Structures are given as structure tokens and as C-alpha cells.
Amino acid sequence: MSPAGERMVLPSAKEIDLRAAEWLERRHREDWNEADQTALDAWCAEASAHRIAYIRVEAAWTRAHRLGALRRPQNRGGVLGAASRLPLLAKIAAAVAVLSAAGAGSAIYFKAPPQKVYATAIGERKTLALSDGSKVEMNTDTVLRVVADGSGRTVWLEKGEAYFQVRHDSAHPFTVMAGGHRVTDLGTKFLVRTDAQKLQVSLVEGSIRFDAPDGRMREPLLLSPGDSVTAKENTIVVTRNSERELAKDLGWRRGVLVFDNTTLADAAAEFNRYNREKIVIADPAVAQLRIDGTFPNENLAVFARAAQQLFELHIVERNGKTVISK
Amino acid sequence: MTEAPDKGREDAEPPGPAVAMTAPQVDAWFVREILPLEAALMHFLLRSRRSSSEADDLRQEVYVRVYEAARQKIPHPAKPFLFAVARNLLVDRVRHEQVVAIETVADVDTLAVAIDEPGPDRSVIARQELRRLEAAIARLPRRCRQVVVLSRIEGLSRREIAARLGIGEATVSTHLTEGMYQLAKLLYGEPHTQGGKP
């Protein structure tokens, strides 16, 4: 029943887990500094068990933070009990009142900070090296506005998709605005894609904060790597992605589209983002066929041929369109 | 019209598993792929060992082995690998502890069947996650829960919490530490009581 002596090399799991929680608690205090960070890094480097215990308790704590972020004001109460805090709407109203009062007076004097607009054509891909060392890879048919002033760095993703590798600088936060949502980098690699129906943000590495434009979220959402937020008109959903799914979403960086049990309809829509020449699927039954594989995103012919051989379909070129039918 | 003669790109490779992983990548993989399996792993370990602190220690050792293997190469898929490691560890233990009843040995073999119960759903809809988090927080001891809620949900600092509850800052820290420790156990180690099955 009692463990043999040889097995007592490691302190108990509970001790290590508690120690990791102590580190995390200290990490969240205001006076956390470089020296503390060095000490924590050293503790984590001491044994894999330490590092694992730390990332585990940190991941749980990050999840707990989502509770605050996802919880709508009217759902409060319950296990959390009453809380004394201004209703959110009242707060927003107050903030808006202050802003508009200031805005009315200062609008005339307001000078727009310098900004640059970058765009890619359909099928084009471009990498921007920003002066601060950050890198932005723009996918097909994308428009970006970059504003850099003294207080921070802001990129507006007007349309399309971009992959950000941000040089973190806490004095000058890097912010991406898209569809009224705000993504703030906390040291990071992430992907943002926007179209008429939805905005999707996927975090590859590091950490980001996601804010919705209205009072939908009481607190910003903190994402950890692998998290993906999809914001539509009325919903915000957080999902976890596997390594494979992320690699799939980032395929365009190598010029490929990766399909995994993807319907021909969805595959065609993807190709159409990259090519002026469009694929049209003429038959609803054909549209529901599913396909796997990796294809160069600018080469419709390869894809059309694969679909043709796989499902014995007919391919016709007509007025700059590739029509696929039975 | 943009159709360029694109030689040699037809055989573009599918994205295989990455080879060299950085520590943050391994960490991220571990959080994403392994931690969600903790409840199933604990179930597996508890069935053969009975004492919960012993199961915690075994869990830790399984994690270390899995993590260190992943530093070399990320195992795909994660779940069978995790349970293979757990099973090997149990077999090793049984060999070392001759006193262990034969029953345990038998368990180790039969347990293989239990592994393939439906895994946790990877895509967590916000509402489900919300329910799970609320349930976990509701199970914390009262004082600890208050401190966790004020810190994590209300976003108050240590000093503000101390003032609000009329306790010392050191006490706030103690409750927070306990809360962090318990939440990790509750969120990962406990079976998902509701809505787990698809």
C-alpha cells in the first residue's frame, strides 16, 4: 500500500500542482516583474512535471476567465451570487455620453494619423513587413489599412484574410479591427478572416484578446493557442482546433487549399476566392459530394480533373467559368 | 485567364505532422489534445489503483512521459498514445509490486476496452463550456469561490478583493491558489456529467 522508496523521486503530484498554482497566483499580481518571470521559467525548466503542472493550471484558469467573458449580464446570479456593480448598459451609456461630449468639441481639430492602405488582387498573396518588425501575410482579395501613431499600432482588415506575426510591445499594443470587433495582441501569431456573414479569428501561438463591438460580452475574451472565435450577427462561438485543422486554415500561406471531407460546393467557394475564373457546380447532388486532398489554389484545372476522375463528372469551360455537372 | 502552366505542383503534399516542435508548440498541443482526456485517464487509473492521490501521481508520471515523447515528435493521434503510455506504466508498476493482487493485472488487460468510449467533443459551444465552468465554480468551498469569482469574473485585484471581503491580501492569495488548483482538477479531472455524449 505504501509506495516503495525508489518511487519517491518526485514530490507528490498534489505538491507540484499546488506549487504551480502558487506560481500562477503570483504571476497575476500587479508587482510581478522580470526577476519573478526568470524564477518561474527556471522552476518550469527544472522538471517536465513542473512545466506540465504550470501549463495545466494556467489553461484551467484561462478557461475560467471565459466564464466572465461569455456570461451575459442577464444570466448573472445563480452560483455567483449578487454582485454590486453598475449595470453594463448604464456604464456604456455613461461612457458614450462622455465620448460624444468630447467628440462634439474636438471633431474639427481632429487630425487623422498617417495611414496606408494595402490590397491584394484575386489570387495574389503579399507579405508586409511593418516597421516595428511585425509581419502581415495577406491572402487573396484582401484590403488592409495600417495606422501607426505614437500610441499603438492598428490594422483595419476591411475585407479578406490575413495572418499576423506580431512583435509584442506592451507599450504599443497591436490591434486588429474587423467588422467592429477588436483583436488585441498579447504577443502572438494569429489568423483573421472576414466576409459578409462572419468574422473568424484563430490563434496559432501566444495570446490575444477579443472584444465584440456591442455589449454582447461583458469582458474581452482571452484566447489560448488553438482557440478560434467565430462571430456572426448574433452569436460568438469559441472552438478548439486540432493541429491539422489549423494547418488546413493556413494552407494558403503555401499557396494550397486543403480539403478534408469538404463538399464540392465549399471547395468551389474556396477556389473562387482565389481565381477570377469561377467554378460553377450545376447540380445540387454534385455539390454535396465530398472530397479530400491538397490542391494548388490557383490551378482550377488540377482540381477539376481530380473531381472529374473521382466522381466521373463532366467539366465544361464556358464564358470564363468552369462548369461541373453530372 | 490566370491559368499559368504550373509544373510540378499537382503533387503538393498534405500537411503532415510537424517535425521539430518548439516548447510553446508542445505546450499548446498538450493543452489542446491531452488535458481534455484527463477525465478519461483518471477514470482509467482509478479503476486499477483505487487511491486518488496515487492516481494523481500516476497521472503526473503519464503526463511527463507523454510530454517528453512529444518534445521529440508529436504523437498522432494523441488519445491511443496517452492510454498506451498509461497502460505501460501500470504494467511496470504491477511488475515491481509483487504484492499487488492478480486482480489488478487482469484489470490492466481488460481496461483496454474502456479506452474507446466517445472522446470529448473538440468543438465546445460556448453554452456548454459555460455550464461546465459554472458547475466547477459552484463546487469550490464558499470563501474560495467568492475570491475566485471576484478575481476571475469581476476582474478585481488582490487588494480590492481583500477590501471587499474584509480579509488580508495574503489570505486572498491563499484562496486564489487553492481555487486555481481545484479548478484545474474539476475542469480536467472530473467526468463531464452532462452533455458529454454526442
For A25-73, the pLDDT digits (tens) are: 999 888 888 899 999 999 999 999 999 999 999 999 888 876 655 543 3
B120-190 under CATH 1.10.10.1800, yes or no: no
Torsion on CA atoms B155, B159, B162, B163, rounded to nearest 10: -100
- Interface contact flag, A61 B12, Cβ < 8 Å: no
Q: Do B153 and A71 touch (CB under 8 A)?
A: yes
B14-98: CATH topology is Rna Polymerase Sigma Factor; Chain: A (1.10.1740)
Q: What is the pLDDT of residue A57?
A: 95
Checking if the pLDDT of A317 tops 90, the result is: no
Residue B177 predicted with pLDDT over 90:
yes
The answer to whether A291 contacts chain B (CB < 8 Å) is: no
pLDDT in tens, A78-101: 333 333 333 443 444 333 333 333
- Average pLDDT score over chain A: 76
pLDDT on residue A220: 75
To the nearest whole Å, the CA of A289 is away from the closest chain B CA by 20
Rounded to a whole number of angstroms, the distance from the CA of B57 to the nearest CA of chain A is: 5
Please, are residues A325 and A316 in contact by the beta-carbon 8 Å criterion? yes
Which among B29, B96, B126 is the nearest to A4, CB-wise? B96
Which grid coordinates belong to B170? 495574503
CB A193 within 8 A of CB A199: yes
Is the dihedral angle over the CA atoms A318, A321, A322, A326 positive or is it negative? negative
pLDDT at B180 exceeding the cut of 60: yes
Whole-structure pTM value: 0.46
Residue B171 has pLDDT above 90, yes or no: yes
Interface of A with B in 5-64 (CB under 8 A): 10, 12-14, 16-18, 20-22, 24-26, 28-30, 47-49, 51-53, 55-57, 59-61, 63-64
The per-residue pLDDT for A163 is: 93
pLDDT tens digits for range A204-261:
888 888 887 765 566 677 888 888 888 877 677 777 777 778 888 888 888 888 888 7
Mutate to test the interface with A, among B2, B97, B99, B164 (most CBs of A within 10 A): B2
Contacts of A22 in chain B (CB under 8 A): 177
Residue A117 has pLDDT above 80, yes or no: yes
Average pLDDT score, chain B: 73
Does residue B134 surpass a pLDDT of 90?
Answer: no
Find chain B residues with C-beta within 8 A of A225's C-beta. 24, 28, 31-32
- Listed by start position, the domains of chain B span 14-98, 120-190
**Which residue from B71, B183, B18 is spatially nearest to A58, judged by alpha carbons?**
B183
Dihedral over Cα of B96, B98, B101, B102: its sign: positive
Distance CA A33, CA B40 (A): 38
